């Protein structure tokens, strides 16, 4: 590289650069960027504006040496996800929540769920993050146990069965199941089915239990289809095709994911059934894709973007030392009733 090329490279923006631009002392700039609450809000805003305008990027190695902090949060993201657009919306929600803070996001995809303890072990051993977000928890999740044993800040997207409390945010899947069953009963369904995914997750257990309880309460015949790691789409389609050709087929189906819903509806249609006419289907919605494909089919929405933001809010509080018992929240399902209900209204 020539000297002229080296000379044309923009100089790195430092704390001194910001101090010179704002007329503040180096110590004041440093304190402000570390979130110093003793400073006036006007001063903090002035430093933040200059840092953003100049393109300041913290020297993570230096920060870690001075404070023991990385200013990084890690998202351990399950790679076996079957909800459309889940990862993008989750990451965008987290990104929105850390905007304007000192934190950065590292995403660690997990394609084999059992290997997640290796990922958590690496984070703990090397302190590559100040806190961790975990998705797709199991009732006795070994990742949760590992983090809790070391008192490392973390939050889970999903609940567990551990007696020791930990921070979590979860979709209220029990309410989802109850709302779906009640909607099917309102439509006159008497023989209903739940199509659910991986039976190793806490979410699966919550949905199944609530579905069975609601069906019993309303006097409906019910059955459940699902299993470990869920049913592959092609197998789901074949199952739905066979189901369409049986005399004892359900007149109402609840499905817990968009990917399974696409395969399910494809098989039903191939078998000559029209969803919403021959069989009613209600699915868990996590994107805007299925309403485009099936504009008259009912769904119940989970706001994954909002979940990412809420998980981040809880984690940052946990990093600051908040009691995990105060960091446990549920997201209420959002019914999207598109087909006419009993009163002829749409919601």
SS (H, E, C) 14-66: CHHHHHHHHCCCHHHHHHHHCCCCCCCHHHHHHHHHHHHHHCCCCCHHHHHHH
For residue 157, the cross-strand partners are 135, 169
Q: Which two tokens stand for residue 294?
A: 């099936």
Question: What pLDDT band is residue 118 in, cutting at 50, 70 and 90?
Answer: confident
SS3 label, residue 171: strand
Q: What superfamily does domain 173-303 belong to in CATH?
A: Response regulator (3.40.50.2300)
pLDDT(63) > 60:
no
pLDDT tens readout for residues 146-198: 999 999 999 999 999 999 999 999 999 999 999 999 999 999 999 999 998 87
Q: How much of the chain, in percent, has pLDDT values that exceed 70?
A: 86
pLDDT(67) > 70:
no
d(CA 214, CA 192): 11
- For the chain, the 3-state helix, strand and coil shares in percent, each to the nearest 5, are 45, 15, 35
Determine contact, residues 84/50, Cβ cutoff 8 Å.
Answer: no
Q: Report the half-sphere exposure of 91 (CA within 13 A, side-chain side).
A: 12
pLDDT tens readout for residues 15-25: 889 999 999 99
Q: What is the DSSP string of 80-135?
A: T--STTHHHHHHHHHHHHHTTSS-EEEEEEESSGGGHHHHHHHHHHHT--SEEEEE
Task: Pick the more confident residue, 201 or 320.
Answer: 320
Span 252-264, average pLDDT: 93
Mean pLDDT of the chain: 87
Model pLDDT, residue 346: 40
Q: Is the pTM of this model over 0.85?
A: no
pLDDT(64) > 70:
no
Question: What pLDDT band is residue 6 in, cutting at 50, 70 and 90?
Answer: very low
Burial state string for 120-141 with b = 16 or more CB within 10 A and e = fewer than 16: beebbeeeebbbbbbbbbbeeb
Query: Which CATH number does 3-57 carry?
Result: 1.10.260.40
Question: What pLDDT band is residue 342 in, cutting at 50, 70 and 90?
Answer: very low
Q: How much of the chain, in percent, has pLDDT values that exceed 90?
A: 58
Residue 265, judged by CB atoms within 10 A of its CB (0-12, 13-18, 19+), counts as: buried
pLDDT tens readout for residues 179-193: 999 999 999 999 999
Model pLDDT, residue 199: 79
SS3 label, residue 271: coil
The sheet with strand 191-195 has its strands ordered as 221-225, 191-195, 252-255, 280-285, 299-301, 334-336
pLDDT(3) > 60:
no
Strand 334-336 and strand 299-301: pairing? antiparallel
Q: CA gyration radius for the chain?
A: 25
Span 59-74, average pLDDT: 67
Neighbours of 264 (CB within 10 A): 28
Q: How far is CA 62 from CA 56, 136, 184, in A?
A: 14, 34, 59
Q: Which range (16-20, 117-121, 197-201) has the least confidence?
A: 197-201
Q: Which range (1-15, 58-72, 173-187, 331-345) has the least confidence?
A: 1-15
d(CA 227, CA 200): 8
For residue 132, the cross-strand partners are 74, 154
DSSP state of 212: H
d(CA 240, CA 260): 11
pLDDT tens readout for residues 217-250: 999 999 998 755 567 888 889 999 999 999 889 9
Strand 104-110 and strand 131-135: pairing? unpaired
Determine contact, residues 337/196, Cβ cutoff 8 Å.
Answer: no
Same fold, 72-171+304-333 and 173-303: yes
pLDDT(4) > 70:
no
Q: Which two tokens stand for residue 145?
A: 């146990």
**Domain residue limits, the chain:** 3-57, 72-171+304-333, 173-303
Model pLDDT, residue 201: 83
Question: What pLDDT band is residue 30 in, cutting at 50, 70 and 90?
Answer: confident
CATH class assigned to 72-171+304-333 = alpha beta
Cα distance between the two ends of the chain? 65
d(CA 73, CA 98): 9
Output phi, psi for 310, to 5 deg: -70, -40
């Amino acid at each position: 590289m020539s000297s002229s090329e080296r000379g044309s490279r923009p100089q790195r923006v430092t704390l001194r650069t910001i101090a010179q631009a704002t007329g503040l002392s180096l110590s004041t700039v440093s304190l402000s960027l570390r979130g110093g609450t003793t400073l006036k809000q006007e001063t903090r805003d002035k430093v933040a504006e200059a840092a953003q305008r100049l393109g300041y990027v913290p020297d993570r190695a230096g920060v870690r040496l001075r404070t023991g902090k990385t200013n990084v949060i890690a998202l351990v993201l399950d790679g076996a996800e079957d909800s459309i657009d889940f990862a993008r919306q989750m990451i965008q929600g987290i990104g929105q929540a850390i905007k304007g803070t000192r934190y950065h996001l590292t995403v660690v995809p997990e394609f084999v769920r059992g290997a997640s303890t290796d990922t958590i072990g690496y984070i703990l051993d090397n302190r590559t993050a100040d806190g961790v977000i975990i998705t797709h928890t199991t009732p006795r999740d070994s990742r949760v146990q590992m983090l809790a044993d070391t008192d490392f800040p973390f939050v889970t997207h999903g609940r567990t069965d551990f007696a020791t409390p930990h921070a979590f945010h979860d979709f209220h899947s029990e309410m989802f199941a109850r709302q779906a069953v009640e909607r099917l009963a309102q439509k006159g369904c008497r023989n209903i089915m739940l199509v659910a995914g991986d039976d190793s997750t806490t979410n699966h257990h919550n949905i199944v239990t609530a579905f069975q309880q609601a069906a019993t309460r309303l006097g409906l015949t019910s059955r459940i289809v699902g299993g470990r790691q869920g049913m592959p789409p092609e197998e789901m389609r074949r199952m739905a095709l066979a189901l369409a050709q049986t005399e004892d087929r359900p007149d109402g189906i609840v499905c817990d994911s968009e990917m399974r819903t696409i395969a399910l509806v494809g098989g039903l249609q191939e078998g000559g059934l029209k969803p919403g006419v021959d069989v009613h289907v209600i699915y868990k919605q996590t994107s805007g894709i299925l309403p485009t494909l099936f504009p008259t089919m009912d769904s119940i929405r989970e706001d994954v973007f909002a979940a990412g933001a809420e998980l981040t809010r809880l984690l940052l509080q946990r990093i600051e030392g908040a009691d995990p018992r105060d960091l446990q929240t549920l997201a209420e399902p959002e019914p999207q009733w598109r087909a006419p209900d009993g009163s002829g209204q749409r919601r």
